[in-house]
Amino acid sequence: MYNPDQILSNNSGSKVPPLEGFREAYILHLADTTLILSQRNSEWCGHGPVLEQDIAITNISLDLLGQSRNFYQYAAQLINDSNRVGGEVTEDKLAYLRKEREFKNLLLVEQQNGDWGQTILRQYLFSQYQYLLFEKLQQSSDEQLAAIAAKSLKETKYHVRWSSEWVIRLGDGTEESHSRMQQAITELWPYTGEMFEPADYEIAFGIDLLSIKNSWDEKVKNIFDEAMLPIPPLGGGGAVFMQSGGKEGRHTEQLGYIITELQYMQRTYPDSEW
């Protein structure tokens, strides 16, 4: 039977041939998520609210880009080793020649930068999750993945510290900054649920998202409390409805524009060295 979902997210008609194994899919999910957040953060470079913070957000963007390259390179290696593909797959082919429906990044990271408050809240919500996730992944039996997670964890620890300090500073700063942070929570909270909703490849890979969720809830609550910011209701009738789909390649309208820019050169000048 014709199943567009399967065809579109399985790279059919793409320059990068089918690569589905759960392991590859999961590594690509990690790669795409870090790349797209790096791309978003890099939009601040040269436009930050104060020079020191311009440098800090660019630094985080660089860290995430480095992480994504590690994941893409690993995914490329797995795909090449599997011999399922004619021609060599590279980090750049994976980042620059896959389409909207093939990207597996979290919806949270593709959301617009908005104001500084929205950017640092997005960073905090993600980094807090990433930190807990990488703590687990560094124990993974997949040695390569464990090594990347362990190496990235040091960076992520700093991202959590930096972004949580900003959440607190802005939440408990002025009336204006407080209300902007509340607005940012309203904008971003609906994209937090997806982090803990396992995709097939996460289940197959044995990622325990439930235990991560419990720690995440607790840590986020502590930071929000210190920031004098209310946590949206977690359950019951008032709970925020959560968006999902990014992990399976169903995104918000933001992603198309991001990858249009990201991939412009490779699409315009195919098969060139840079």
Partner 1 sequence: MAIPDFEKIFQGKIDEEIKIEPKDWMPDAYRKTNLRQISQHAHSEIVGMLPEGNWISRAPSLKRKAILLAKVQDEAGHGLYLYSAAETLGMNRDEMINDLHSGKAKYSSIFNYPTLTWADMGAVGWLVDGAAILNQVMLCRTSYGPYARAMVRICKEESFHQRQGFESLLVLSRGTDEQKAMCQDAINRWWWPSLMMFGPKDSESTNSDQSMKWKIKRKTNDELRQQFVDMIAEQIKVLGMKLPDDKLKWNEERKHYDFGEINWDEFWQVVKGNGPCNKQRLEARRKAHEDGAWVREAAVAYASKKNAAKTKAA
Q: Measured from the CB of residue 170, what is the shortest distance to partner 1 in angstroms? A: 5
Interacting residues with partner 1 (CB under 8 A): 35, 39, 42-43, 45-55, 58-59, 61-62, 65-66, 68-69, 72, 91-92, 95-96, 115-117, 168-170, 172-174, 176-177, 180, 261-262, 264-266, 269, 272-274
The sign of the CA dihedral 24, 20, 96, 207 is: negative
Closer by beta carbon to partner 1, 116 or else 162 = 116
The upper half-sphere exposure of residue 234, i.e. CA atoms within 13 Å in the direction of its Cβ, equals 8
What gap in Å lies between CA 247 and CA 244, rounded to an integer? 8
What gap in Å lies between CA 184 and CA 122, rounded to an integer? 8
Q: Measured from the CB of residue 206, what is the shortest distance to partner 1 in angstroms? A: 29
Closer by beta carbon to partner 1, 92 or else 208 = 92
Q: Measured from the CB of residue 106, what is the shortest distance to partner 1 in angstroms? A: 19
35 exposure class (CB count in 10 Å sphere: 0-12, 13-18, 19+): buried
The pair of three-digit structure tokens given for residue 261, joined into one six-digit string: 């820019």
Q: Measured from the CB of residue 75, what is the shortest distance to partner 1 in angstroms? A: 13
Closer by beta carbon to partner 1, 97 or else 132 = 97
Closer by beta carbon to partner 1, 35 or else 78 = 35
Give me the torsion for CA of 72, 74, 80, 86, rounded to 10°: 0
Q: Measured from the CB of residue 242, what is the shortest distance to partner 1 in angstroms? A: 29
